[in-house]
């Protein structure tokens, strides 16, 4: 069996959330990973963009704690950062939510650009998928197009891009190609109405298959 290097999931004490962080287990990264933690601290102190974002995020957390929803947190963080132009990269399945989010953000003074995942209407076959690999074989299915979403929001000059229900993998591609920083408002989970944490709570019974595949 390999020696545990870093595995906070095994920790029973969470000493990092206390004034005695040395009380963590032997593999606690607070004790064993001094170098990257020090490098991170230097970035918070010396890299201007990282510093500004870290302070804004912590201020939003402080103001919001146990009071605000994630939508309100997003608005506050964007204001704190001084952003004026926001992008929404939305799933086509959440267009109604997209409209509501745009209305909310506009009411809070932001200029908003929204772009749908199916933009371009490129057939899945055009990037090499087989008909049998589609969700509904025998029908027209366009790819989700997160790279185009990122490029279009980039051209619009957005300063923060908000993910609204992009699929797993497509969200990864969007984040990889977005020039502006990215935050997730809605994580796609078609079965749980976009609440993937429900599965983690349900592994003792309903989702046991995920623990013992």
Measured distance CA(139)–CA(144) in Å, rounded: 15
Among 22, 26, 28, 57, binds ligand SF4 (CB under 6 A): 28
Comparing CB distances to ligand SF4, the nearer of 29 and 120 is 29
Each as own residue / partner, the long-range contacts of residues 93-102 (CB below 8 Å, 24 or more positions apart, any chain) are 93/165, 93/190, 94/164, 94/165, 94/186, 97/164, 97/165, 97/186, 98/164, 101/71, 101/162, 101/164, 101/185
Per CB under 6 A, which of residues 82..141 are in contact with ligand SF4?
A: none
| 29 lies in the site for ligand SF4, by CB under 6 A | yes
Comparing CB distances to ligand SF4, the nearer of 36 and 213 is 36
CB contact at 8 A, 165 and 188: yes
Measured distance CA(85)–CA(1) in Å, rounded: 51
Comparing CB distances to ligand SF4, the nearer of 13 and 43 is 13
The per-type count for the chain, helices as H runs and strands as E runs, is 8, 4
Comparing CB distances to ligand SF4, the nearer of 37 and 155 is 37
Q: 4-23 mask for ligand SF4 (x: CB under 6 A)?
A: ----x--x-xxxx-------
| 38 lies in the site for ligand SF4, by CB under 6 A | no
Segment near ligand SF4 (CB under 6 A); pick from 28-36, 48-56, 83-91, 151-159: 28-36
DSSP 165-176: SPPTTHHHHHHH
Comparing CB distances to ligand SF4, the nearer of 11 and 147 is 11
The residue ranges that bind ligand SF4 (CB under 6 A) are: 8, 11, 13-16, 24-25, 28-30
């Amino acid at each position: 069996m390999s020696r545990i290097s870093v595995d906070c999931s095994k920790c029973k004490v969470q000493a990092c959330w206390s004034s005695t962080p040395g009380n963590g287990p032997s593999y606690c990264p607070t004790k064993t990973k001094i170098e990257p933690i020090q490098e991170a601290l230097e970035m918070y102190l010396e890299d201007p963009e990282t510093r500004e974002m870290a302070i804004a995020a912590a201020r939003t957390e402080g103001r919001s704690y146990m009071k605000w929803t994630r939508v309100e947190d997003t608005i506050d963080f964007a204001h704190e950062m001084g952003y004026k132009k926001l992008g929404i990269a939305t799933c086509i399945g959440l267009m109604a939510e997209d409209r509501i989010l745009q209305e909310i953000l506009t009411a809070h003074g932001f200029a908003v650009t929204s772009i749908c995942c199916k933009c371009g209407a490129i057939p899945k076959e055009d990037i090499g998928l087989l008909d049998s690999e589609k969700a509904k074989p025998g029908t027209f299915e366009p790819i989700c197009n997160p790279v185009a979403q990122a490029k279009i929001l980039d051209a619009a000059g957005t300063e923060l891009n908000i993910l609204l229900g992009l699929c797993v993998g497509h969200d990864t591609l969007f984040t990889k190609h977005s020039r502006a920083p990215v935050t997730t408002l809605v994580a796609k989970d078609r079965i749980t109405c976009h609440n993937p944490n429900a599965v983690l709570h349900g592994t003792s019974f309903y989702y046991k298959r995920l623990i013992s595949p």
